[in-house]
Structure formats: structure tokens, C-alpha cells
Amino acid sequence: MTARVQVPARIARGDVIQVRLLVQHPMETGYQRDDVGNVIPRNTIRTLSCRFDGQEVFRADLSSGVAANPYLQFPLRVSGPGTLAFSWVDDAGVEGTHNQPLEVTG
């Protein structure tokens, strides 16, 4: 599972930025069937969290009500340079992580 994160290129200390995250995941609802009629088991990301230098700054509990390849945008006040560490886990128990460094100018 891969993810893409977008943060502003120029961040000043104390800025409130919008972090944008796109995770590649089918978010199977468990209500659909494949071509030969077998139920496709539910497989959605249950929990996704973002830590900034060890402190949790955002958490989302998701369900089948979130579109495939979940897109999330959330705010963060940047106190200084550091790393955004994303981690998530789905129904199949597969975990994913992604790290995004934050450069702070000024």
C-alpha cells in the first residue's frame, strides 16, 4: 500500500497548513460480488493516524463509507521542522506507513 502526501513547499514556524493524503486502497465494502458471484470480503482501512515527532496530531477511523483510495485533508499548526509519520491498518491486518518531512523556513 502506497500513499502520497502533499504539504506546502514553504512553511513558516507557526503556520497552520493543510496536509493532504491519498492512500492507495480498494476499501472493499463487503457488499459486492466478483465476476463469478463470490462475495468480495470487506477490506477497509480501519484506523489511520498521523504523528508529528512522536505526538499524534490526527487520527481517522474509517469504514466502507469512505471512497476507494481514501483522500484525507486535515489541518496542522507547524511548531517547527520535523517528520509526519503516517500509519494505517486495514481489515486484513495489513499495515502501511509513510513518512513526510516538513521543511520550515523562517
What residues make contact with another protein under the rule CB under 8 A? 16, 18, 29, 31-33, 52, 55, 57-68, 70-77, 79
Minimum CB distance to another protein, residue 53 (Å): 11
Q: How many CB atoms lie within 10 A of CB 30?
A: 12
Minimum CB distance to another protein, residue 43 (Å): 14
Nearer to another protein by C-beta: 63 or 97? 63
Three cell numbers, residue 32:
459486492
Minimum CB distance to another protein, residue 90 (Å): 14
Return d(Cα 79, Cα 99) in angstroms, integer. Answer: 18
Nearest to 51 by CA among 19, 22, 27: 19
